[in-house]
Amino acid sequence: MNSALTENQRLLALREHHVPRGIATAHPVVAARAQGAELWDVDGKRYLDFVGGIGVLNIGHNHPKVVEAVRRQVGKISHASFQVVAYENYIQVAARLNKLVGGDAHYKSVLFTSGAEAVENAVKIARGHTNRTAVISFRGGFHGRTLLGVTLTGMSQPYKQNFGPFPAEIYHATYPNAYRGVSSEDALAELDELFATDVAPDRVAAIIIEPVQGDGGFLAAPKEFLQALRARCTQHGIVLILDEIQAGFGRTGTMFGFQHADIQPDLVTVAKSLAGGMPLSGVVGRAEIMDAPTPGGLGGTYGGNAVACAAALAVLDLFEEQDLLAQGEILAAQLRDGLLALQKRYPRIGDVRGLGFMQAIEMVADDAARSPDAALAQKVIDEARNAGLLVIKCGVHRNVVRFLAPLVTTQEQVAEALQMLEKALATAC
């Protein structure tokens, strides 16, 4: 191998040889270490990480409390499988999630490993409870890369490719998008049309929705839309599932995104920032719904792994001890103000949107239709990396640049990131 290669180049060449192309890597960077909102590559270059493991690191890289919790747990028991013997920290995580989601109502939680696994099991639970088969999700939604996950996902590429046939009885409704002229009233009218023409509501087991679409472009569902969904689900006996995998754990300014709408979901899927980088997910829901599957119907060898549960308890402690929600709101206002200021200077930023510290910019062409400009978004991302800022894209047309910085990011780092972004925009635009 060429000795003139950098360490990044050497390792990326090995990656190309040994790892299939189907798993994409957004940046040609090989990480060596990270702390808080900063990451260093194997050649020693420092980056501000405004991706956070795709929304996994709301408490930042390698938080000392999480590291210590993991270290202690590995010394006790790393894995036994909850399906073989119970262990206390699984029960503690379930109890705390039940309180966070359900308040004083009787909720139960079951733990898994990935977000897609949580989504699949939420659908199983809803079908088991209702004895119905149909599920409605939304165009632009993202619910995972498993076969059911990509079927629920409301985007064709790159997720669906030639992977079909897909599971039956999955229907897609329209999600509101104010920037593109789709109001809550429009979306609700189309949902009612779906009930009238494609699937009667008494055949629908569940409606699953992200309170803020993550991969779909950081579109926040209006309060009135979520409240109307809640009302329709109650009216027709449909289980309302809130997918909080990306929006949960403080990302939007409340612990969960649904709390902005003053509604109570039947089931909630959680993952990503639940365990500070450890693989842990779950379904949290009303006890009478959660108890629908009979023993053996739910599970997974690694679900609720003891080390991941220890990390999750440390994460939940940090939210209580450090007032991360308030800190995130301060950072959110700073970031949003900065993005709006950049929009005034760079009109190719068609929209600045988001909820809390979950912000994004939509890059558009210089035409009357504000056509999505995926190439420009990619150029902004590449130039931001060159300046020292890591961000990634999203949106059905891949023309949205999203920001998922940890809630422990400092105000100085947000200011630095905005300077790096401006440099990228100046070059790209």
pLDDT average, residue stretch 103-120: 98
Return the structure tokens found at 361. 């910019």
Quote the percentage of the chain above a pLDDT of 70: 99
pLDDT digit string, tens, across residues 19-71: 999 999 999 999 999 999 999 999 999 999 999 999 999 999 999 999 999 99
| Model pLDDT, residue 4 | 87
pLDDT digit string, tens, across residues 212-258: 999 999 999 999 999 999 999 999 999 999 999 999 999 999 999 99
| Model pLDDT, residue 408 | 97
Which pLDDT band, with edges at 50, 70 and 90, does 3 fall under? low
pLDDT at 368 over 80: yes
| Model pLDDT, residue 2 | 57
For the entire predicted model, the pTM comes to: 0.96
pLDDT digit string, tens, across residues 380-396: 999 999 999 999 999 99
pLDDT at 208 over 70: yes
Scan for tokens 């792994």, then name that residue: 305
Domain map (residue ranges) of the chain: 7-62+323-428, 67-322
7-62+323-428 CATH fold: Aspartate Aminotransferase, domain 1 (3.90.1150)
**CATH 3.40.640.10 for the 67-322 domain, yes or no:** yes
pLDDT at 1 over 60: no
| Model pLDDT, residue 229 | 98
State the Cα–Cα distance between residues 191 and 363, nearest whole angstrom. Answer: 29
pLDDT digit string, tens, across residues 260-270: 999 999 999 99
pLDDT digit string, tens, across residues 411-427: 999 999 999 999 999 99
pLDDT average, residue stretch 395-401: 97
Return the structure tokens found at 424. 């990228």
pLDDT digit string, tens, across residues 280-339: 999 999 999 999 999 999 999 999 999 999 999 999 999 999 999 999 999 999 999 999
* CA-based nearest residue to 393, from 406, 379, 414: 379
